[in-house]
Amino acid sequence: MTSASLDALAGVQLYFKCENLQRSGSFKMRGASNAVFSLSDEDAARGVVTHSSGNHAAALALAASRRGIRAWIVMPSDSPQIKQRGVAACGAEITVCEPTLAAREAAARDVMKHTGAVMIHPYDDDRIIAGQATAAVELIEQVPDLDYILAPVSGGGLLSGIGLATRHLRPAARVIGCEPAQADDAARSLASGKLEPASKGTTIADGLRATLSQRTLGILQRTADAIALVTEDEIIAIMQLLWERLKIVVEPSGAVAAAPAIFRRLNAEGRKVGIVLSGGNVDPATLRSTMGERNG
């Protein structure tokens, strides 16, 4: 998507890759599809398992349903009912656990032990990263002379795929990861060269709270040019701008990558800037709370 009025605001040519319009409502469908459909028939017959409260859960459930195999999804007890219903609607079996990473991992191991299902990690997996890379492949096919690609970074699966694809197909483009200042572990990890712990801040961008893995940190060290930090107010302002000007709903995590360009922090006057709007799954209360009247 493009918008003349947002271009004027940003001072650059913006090309939005609208992964909020993707099946299952986020880019996660790319990696989940690649992982599920690249399983051998023997492995596929065992089914797949993951732990996720969010978009990876929905995507894996849908991808498994499309291949006609079983899926077990471990979801923390605080994940929204609407997301649990969406996963159940795809025929996946949900195991509810305590909302801690330890409980999630233990429950997933338990499912693997009892069912033999194949674990599909949300980002620490080459099949997932290769799937997410297709977002950049398509964007570069449509806009071959892109100067920048901006995408959110959480666990780093999406940004790793985008970095690898861009270095191969459009090496001149700068790859910028974007994350909330309140969840800045990727920026700190790339600065220090080692995995840094999660931030203690809270952010409305609930999909961006995961931390890099050794695998994604290594890929980003070779392929990402910079990490840009975005404030909570900026995330909300971008969500509002996107519905006002593009008439689309983007979840907080999905809006982050538009902020550095629209708030003119790239020093890229007149350049072509690709932005991955990574998802659109937002619950009614969050959406309502972000739809306040802005000043001016």
Q: How many residues bind a second copy (CB under 8 A)?
A: 24
Residue selected from 20, 52, 203, 213 as contacting a second copy according to rule CB under 8 A: 20
Picking from 211, 191, 216, the residue whose alpha carbon sits closest to that of residue 199 is 211
Catalytic residue flag (residue 272): no
Q: Tell me whether residue 1 or residue 226 sits nearer to a second copy (CB atom).
A: 1
Tell me the two tokens of residue 171. Answer: 């090496």
**Neighbouring-strand partners of residue 177:** 151, 227
Chosen residue from 243, 263, 265, 271 binding a second copy by CB under 8 A: 243
- The residues facing 16 across adjacent strands are 275
Give CA–CA dist 129/37, Å, rounded.
14
Answer yes or no whether residue 195 interacts with a second copy by CB under 8 A. no
d(CA 167, CA 223): 7
- Among positions 249, 259, 266, 275, the unique one binding a second copy when judged by CB under 8 A: 249
Site for a second copy in 106-145 (CB under 8 A): none
**295 near a second copy, rule: CB under 8 A:** no
User: Which parts of 25-44 interact with a second copy (CB under 8 A)?
Assistant: 25
Cβ atoms within 10 Å of 291's Cβ, excluding its own: 12
Looking at the Cβ atoms of 38 and 289, the one nearer to a second copy is 289
Q: Is 294 in the site for a second copy (CB under 8 A)?
A: yes
Compute the Cα dihedral for 18, 23, 28, 29 and give only its sign.
negative
Cα separation, 27 vs 40, whole angstroms: 23
Tokens of 108: 């997933």
For the annotated catalytic residues, the residue numbers are 28, 53
Residues that bind a second copy (CB under 8 A): 1, 4-5, 20-21, 23, 25, 89, 240, 243, 246-250, 280, 284-285, 287-288, 291-294
